[in-house]
Amino acid sequence: MMRCRRYINIYSKEESIAKSKKGAVILVGGGDGHMDKAYSTACTLLHHMNCYDIHDAVYSHNTNERPAIEDREALLGLSSILDFFANNIKDIDVRKGVRYDKMERR
């Protein structure tokens, strides 16, 4: 969808105003490596999508020994991510995905 919009902007000579986005990274691993490179790569991808407000990484490491669902720290991290995204929920009409103050009056 984003790529289609980009082509429309190119051919119609419109200038796109890229809205800043929020993002989060959730990593799950078996415990045989470091997560720094994976987190760095994920952040780079998010930056390419105009996302610079990124929550700290939430991870469940060593899933070979302990399932992620039993990782209390990871579950608390997921809750923190929900709170991070919920800060703007009051301004958004979830059904339409637009801000209340931008909605058309009927």
Q: Are the beta carbons of 62 and 30 closer than 8 angstroms?
A: yes
The residue-averaged pLDDT of 21-38 equals: 87
Q: Quick check: 25 pLDDT over 80?
A: yes
Domain presence at residue 5: no
pLDDT at 62: 85
3-state secondary structure of 98: strand
For the stretch 50-82, pLDDT in tens is 999 999 999 998 888 889 899 999 999 999 999
Q: Which residue in 30, 2, 37 sits closest to 16, CA to CA?
A: 2
Domain count across the chain? 1
Contacts for 62 with CB less than 8 Å, ≥ 6 apart? 29, 30, 31
Between the alpha carbon of residue 9 and those of residues 1, 13, 19, 96, the distances in Å are 13, 6, 15, 23
Q: Evaluate if pTM is beyond 0.85.
A: no
Residues in the chain: 106
pLDDT level of residue 101 (50, 70, 90 thresholds): very low
Domain presence at residue 12: no
Domain with 41 in it? 21-102
Domain presence at residue 6: no
Domain presence at residue 35: yes
